[in-house]
């Protein structure tokens, strides 16, 4: 690690840290849900406009903010590193008790996206003062709708990662239960994919005194649930992992006592995209079987919102080297196994090698998606610093011919 440059980065981070803390708290107090991040987006764009060397692009899907910063070091600007922050909040009532708590009933930043935004925004300010130190470009993506709807798939689909295409992508996530600033991640499969399903079974309603005239959708739906509960043991290897959960069961009885229509919704989680395909096909087969055995007409609707997230080993190793070199060996931890949680950063990781990592917020802090959760401001200095080093050192290694 270049000592002089390292000291310069530290100085610049300390210089902008108070402003990033204030911005983080403003965002926290004014949470907006997925796809509704109008004011959050406006704030981010106002801040980016203060950086004269940053090119802020028009929105791709409405409430996103994407900006490019080009280096001035000799050579062609042919490499790109992309840093991403999610910006949406959760539909939860905050109970943190902090003075800057949510002003909006039923909405809160319960997953740390306010902190993620401050980290990437802070990295943009610091890197804008270091353009003489790198060639290539850094893209800053402030992405709406991570929590609901996986809007990254639409953002990426609209070309937010094009011109130039990224050579590496990075994102961080607030993580309780580990010391402040600790980096925790792993190479390879990191998080699960999710398919949402909606299955409709059309039967025939009838009064209960004449059951022979009915095709009872309640019984058919119960049969469907029973058969789906066997799929993990019958269709998924014991060495693989998958989950089927049922979110809602509805029965409709418009004309009589026996319900003529049933709707079942839920989710499938899996660590291999191929396992997701197997389970979707198996569910479709069960529904077709019910048409024969019980006389219901079935339709299946599947939406794969999140695909599996896979970290590149080379990017994780660079992150490890930076973390240990900067903060010591105790500040980097490997995850013992993948998480069954999901992230739409998966769509970035499908476009380029990269690393998604957890950033420690303290062992005694409430976990995310909890009404008492709050991003720890003490983590900001680590998040900003790591993002800056990842951008600079990735670009440097790309210039030296390394393939990520």
pLDDT at 70: 96
User: Model pTM greater than 0.85?
Assistant: yes
How high is the mean pLDDT of the chain? 94
* Sign of the dihedral through C-alpha 154, 155, 157, 158: positive
Residue 259: predicted pLDDT? 72
Other CB atoms within 10 Å distance of the CB of residue 64: 24
Instruction: Give the pLDDT confidence score for residue 76 in this predicted structure.
Output: 74
Name the band, by pLDDT with cuts 50, 70 and 90, for residue 346: very high
Could you count the other beta carbons within 10 Å of the beta carbon of residue 179?
Answer: 12
- Relative orientation angle of helices 3-29 and 380-399, to the nearest 10 degrees: 130
Average pLDDT over residues 327-339: 97
If you average pLDDT over residues 141-153, what whole number do you get?
Answer: 96
Listed in order, the ranges of the chain carrying CATH 3.40.630.10 are 3-189+308-399
Partners of residue 188 on adjacent β-strands: 311
Cis? peptide before 164, omega within 30° of 0 = yes
- Average pLDDT of the segment spanning 121-145: 97
- Kindly state the DSSP code that residue 35 receives in the 8-state scheme: T
What pLDDT score does 335 carry? 97
**Tens digits of residue pLDDT in 212-256:** 666 688 889 999 999 999 999 999 999 999 999 999 999 877 655
Distance, in Å, from the CA atom of 32 to the CA atom of 145, rounded to the nearest integer, reads 10
Which spans in 101-184 are helix H? Answer: 113-128, 152-157
Residue with tokens 């970290």: 311
- For the stretch 178-214, pLDDT in tens is 999 999 999 999 999 999 999 999 877 766 666 666 6
Lookup: tokens for 251? 């029965």
> Is domain 193-306 annotated with CATH 3.30.70.360?
yes
Mean pLDDT of 285-307: 94
pLDDT the model gives residue 203: 77
Copy the structure tokens of residue 312: 């590149």
Q: Is the pLDDT of residue 160 over 90?
A: yes
Strands 168-175 and 354-360: parallel
Give the pLDDT band of residue 260 (cuts 50, 70, 90): confident
Stretch(es) of the chain classified as CATH 3.30.70.360? 193-306
* Residue 371 pLDDT > 80: yes
Q: Does the domain made of 3-189+308-399 have the CATH classification 3.40.50.300?
A: no
Residue 29 sits at φ, ψ, to 5 deg, of -75, -15
């Amino acid at each position: 690690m270049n000592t002089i440059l390292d000291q310069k980065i530290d100085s610049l981070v300390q210089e902008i840290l108070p402003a990033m803390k204030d911005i983080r708290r403003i965002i926290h107090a004014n949470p907006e849900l997925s796809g509704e991040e109008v004011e959050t987006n406006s704030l981010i764009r106002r801040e980016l406009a203060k950086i004269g060397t940053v090119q802020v692009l028009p929105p791709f899907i409405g409430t996103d903010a994407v900006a490019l910063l080009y280096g001035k070091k000799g050579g062609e600007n042919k490499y790109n590193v992309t840093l991403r922050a999610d910006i949406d909040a959760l539909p939860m009532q905050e109970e943190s008790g902090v003075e800057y708590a949510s002003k909006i009933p039923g909405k809160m930043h319960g997953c740390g996206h306010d902190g993620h935004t401050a980290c990437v925004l802070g990295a943009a300010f610091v890197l804008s003062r270091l353009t003489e130190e790198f060639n290539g470009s850094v893209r800053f993506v402030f992405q709406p709708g991570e929590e609901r709807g996986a809007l990254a798939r639409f953002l990426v689909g609209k070309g937010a990662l094009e011109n130039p295409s990224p050579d590496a992508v990075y994102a961080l996530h607030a993580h309780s239960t580990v010391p402040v600033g600790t980096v925790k991640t792993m190479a390879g499969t990191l998080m699960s994919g999710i398919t949402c399903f909606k299955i409709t079974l059309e039967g025939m309603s009838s009064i209960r005194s004449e059951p022979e005239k009915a095709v009872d959708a309640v019984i058919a739906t119960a049969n469907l649930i029973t058969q789906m509960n066997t799929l993990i043991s019958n269709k998924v290897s014991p060495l693989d992992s998958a989950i089927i959960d049922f979110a809602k069961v509805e029965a409709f009885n418009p004309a009589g006592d026996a319900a003529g229509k049933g709707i079942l919704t839920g989710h499938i989680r899996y660590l291999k995209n191929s396992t997701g395909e197997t389970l979707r096909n198996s569910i479709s087969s069960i529904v077709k079987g019910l048409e024969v055995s019980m006389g219901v007409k079935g339709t299946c609707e599947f939406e794969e919102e999140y695909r599996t997230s896979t970290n590149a080993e080379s990017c994780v190793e660079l992150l490890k080297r930076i973390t240990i070199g900067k903060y010591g060996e105790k500040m980097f931890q490997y995850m013992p196994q993948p998480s069954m949680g999901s992230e739409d950063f998966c769509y970035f990781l499908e476009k380029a090698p990269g690393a998604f990592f957890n950033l420690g917020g303290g062992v005694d802090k409430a976990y995310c998606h909890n009404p008492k959760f709050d991003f720890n401001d003490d983590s900001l200095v680590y998040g900003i610093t790591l993002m800056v080093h990842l951008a600079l050192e990735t670009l440097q290694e790309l210039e030296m011919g390394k393939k990520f």
